[in-house]
Amino acid sequence: MTVLGKDLSQFSLIDMLRFGITTRITQANGYEESRDSLAHDWVDFFTREFPKDIWASIPNIGSDAVRYFQSLSLNVLIISGGDSIGETPKRDETEYALLEYALKNRIPIIAICRGMQLVHSYFGGKIIKGDEKFSSIHRAKMHEIITEENDVFSINSYHNDLILEDNLHSDLKIIARCTKDFTVEAFVNHSLIGLMWHPERAMVDSKWSNELIKNFLKNYHD
């Protein structure tokens, strides 16, 4: 079996991380068709941070995406960012189905920005639209977060919607908040990690962010 030019027969599928990453739905200029797309930043991220592992993008095909995920023997789910929940119903259907499948089958989940909001929504939380003050902090900005250990890091921020602590499900543990408005910036539980920033994009403390993801995966598989 060959995926993205890698002959999987050369590797141990037990030891290899096999990422499945969801895609956003875009409209191509001049064409009356929808397309599934993934930012090239993710290609650079996987090449740089997980050079020995493989990844595959997942099309927005609703609940059939679960069968697609299984057919490639993927063992990590990344729910990617971009757009708000409700804007593209087929993507919502796809990602909710994959999330439910991963939770039921103990597959580690990395939820990025919109993906973190989707997890929050799945657990019964409310997604709140940010006002002008919120956008001045979070929309296409860099800002600081504080962790539960009181460490401060600088991250990128591109989201319009927010998660508040008093609306968070008890199964989700906060591990980082924004230093300016204390909105939730990251959470974990036994099977997932949610990050409101984009680790695939440039930011000051990218090394810390990448180690956070790697430690989650290491601890999960240990």
Cα 42 off chain centre by: 11
Predicted pLDDT of residue 149 = 94
Residue-wise pLDDT for 195-217, tens only, equals: 999 999 988 789 999 999 999 99
In the CATH scheme, what is the code of domain 2-221?
3.40.50.880
Q: Are 174 and 128 spatial neighbours (Cβ–Cβ below 8 Å)?
A: no
- Confidence band (pLDDT; 50, 70, 90) for 163? confident
Separation of alpha carbons 151 and 99, rounded Å: 30
Predicted pLDDT of residue 9 = 43
Contacts of 72 (CB under 8 A, 6+ apart): 3, 18, 20, 56
Domain boundaries, the chain: 2-221
Residue-wise pLDDT for 73-131, tens only, equals: 999 999 999 888 999 999 999 999 999 999 999 999 999 999 999 999 999 998 877 66
Least confident of 109-113, 114-118, 133-137, 167-171: 133-137
